[in-house]
């Protein structure tokens, strides 16, 4: 059973300056909901109830968001605004939120390693990068799809999607053999390769299922691309033992770590999802 989901959220979000100068990038809203809440809802819908967040300096708004706000809730009690807090209250009432800090930006592998104290070493766990907003209008969320796959194969799973060849340098990239529809047995993976040296155009998206032995592997992994400890490099060690699957998920993904992707997500949710309740009410 995968009950714990890790949210690396220590990054500075420099691409969104000045908005992220004093506000965590994970709190930027798509319509009325902060990015990280989309991720937490996806994890909750997939059956997780422990949300383990790797934070850093200047990230207290995340902790406050996933807590009761007595004064505010008292103020709006009995008014139509109360319903705007229904979703977040469901998460707060049903999940445990735990936090630790990554003190220095040493890479995603390091951030995940910091999460060891939160998720423990007994069970597999999920990882969601909130920057990658995933949404499947036609069925199960991406993490639930991946957990189903984990339950079948019992090994690490990374979400992948095809990207244009000129974009592969922005991602971890896998190569592998398709063993069933949309499922690849990974035999190579490279963090942000040059476009002409990438093993394929199958890019890793910010959703992972990791087995707890990954912590020992991360410990032994040397810093890689940009001098940072890369989870892609640690997973390559696992892949060489035939223990990593790449899964081409069903649904949409928006790169909300970039302004363009953020705007695209905003437009998509405005057009396709429910319009924000606050706007509907004003009509």
Can you give the binding site for ligand G1P, defined by CB under 6 A?
Answer: 108, 129, 132, 171-172, 191, 203-206, 230, 232, 257
In 3D, which of 25, 245, 273, 235 has the Cα closest to residue 145?
A: 245
Taking the least distance from each CB to ligand G1P, the nearer of 88 and 168 is: 168
**Nearer of residues 34 and 206 to ligand G1P, judged by Cβ:** 206
Least distance (Å) between residue 191 CB and ligand G1P: 5
Cβ 188 vs Cβ 176: under 8 Å: yes
Shortest distance in whole angstroms from residue 228 CB to ligand G1P = 8
Q: How far is the CB of 19 from ligand G1P (least distance, A)?
A: 18
Pick 7 or 95: Cβ nearer ligand G1P? 7
Q: What is d(CA 233, CA 239) in angstroms, rounded to the nearest whole number? A: 10
Position of minimal CB gap to ligand G1P: 172
C-alpha–C-alpha distance, residues 248 and 89, integer Å: 32
| Shortest spacing between CB 13 and ligand G1P, in angstroms | 11
For residue 59, what are its two tokens? Answer: 């990230």
Least distance in Å: CB of 108 to ligand G1P?
5
47 contact partners, CB below 8 Å, separation of at least 6: 1, 2, 3, 144, 147
Least CB distance to ligand G1P at residue 230 (A): 6
Of residues 51 and 132, the one with the C-beta less far from ligand G1P: 132
91 versus 131: smaller Cβ distance to ligand G1P = 131
Give the phi and the psi of residue 97 in degrees, each rounded to 5: -105, 125
CA distance 234 to 192: 14
Reference 46, options 87, 9, 4, 86; nearest CA is: 4
* 88/190 with CB nearer ligand G1P: 190
The residues that bridge with 101 in the sheet, in sequence order, are 55
């Amino acid at each position: 059973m995968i009950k714990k989901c890790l949210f690396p959220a220590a990054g500075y979000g420099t691409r969104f300056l000045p908005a992220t100068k004093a506000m965590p990038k994970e709190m930027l809203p798509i319509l009325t909901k902060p990015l990280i809440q989309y991720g937490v809802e996806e994890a909750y819908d997939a059956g997780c109830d422990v949300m383990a967040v790797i934070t850093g300096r200047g990230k207290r708004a995340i902790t406050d968001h996933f807590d009761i706000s007595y004064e505010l809730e008292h103020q709006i009690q009995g008014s139509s605004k109360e319903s705007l807090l229904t979703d977040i209250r469901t998460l707060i009432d049903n999940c445990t939120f735990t936090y630790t800090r990554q003190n220095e930006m040493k890479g995603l592998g390091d951030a995940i390693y910091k999460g060891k104290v939160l998720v423990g070493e007994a069970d597999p766990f999920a990882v969601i990068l909130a920057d990658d907003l995933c949404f499947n209008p036609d069925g199960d969320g991406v993490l639930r799809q991946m957990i189903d796959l984990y339950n079948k194969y019992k090994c690490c799973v990374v979400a992948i999607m095809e990207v244009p060849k000129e974009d592969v340098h922005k991602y971890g990239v896998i190569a592998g053999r398709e063993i069933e529809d949309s499922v690849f047995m990974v035999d190579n993976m490279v963090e942000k390769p040059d476009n002409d040296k990438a093993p394929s155009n199958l890019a890793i998206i910010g959703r992972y299922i990791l087995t707890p032995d990954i912590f020992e592997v991360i410990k032994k992994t040397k810093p890689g691309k940009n001098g940072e400890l890369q989870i892609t490099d640690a997973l390559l060690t696992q892949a060489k033992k035939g223990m990593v699957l790449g899964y081409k998920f069903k649904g949409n993904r928006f790169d909300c770590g970039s302004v363009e992707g953020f705007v695209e997500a905003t437009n998509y949710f405005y057009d396709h999802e429910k319009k924000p309740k606050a706007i509907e009410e004003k009509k």
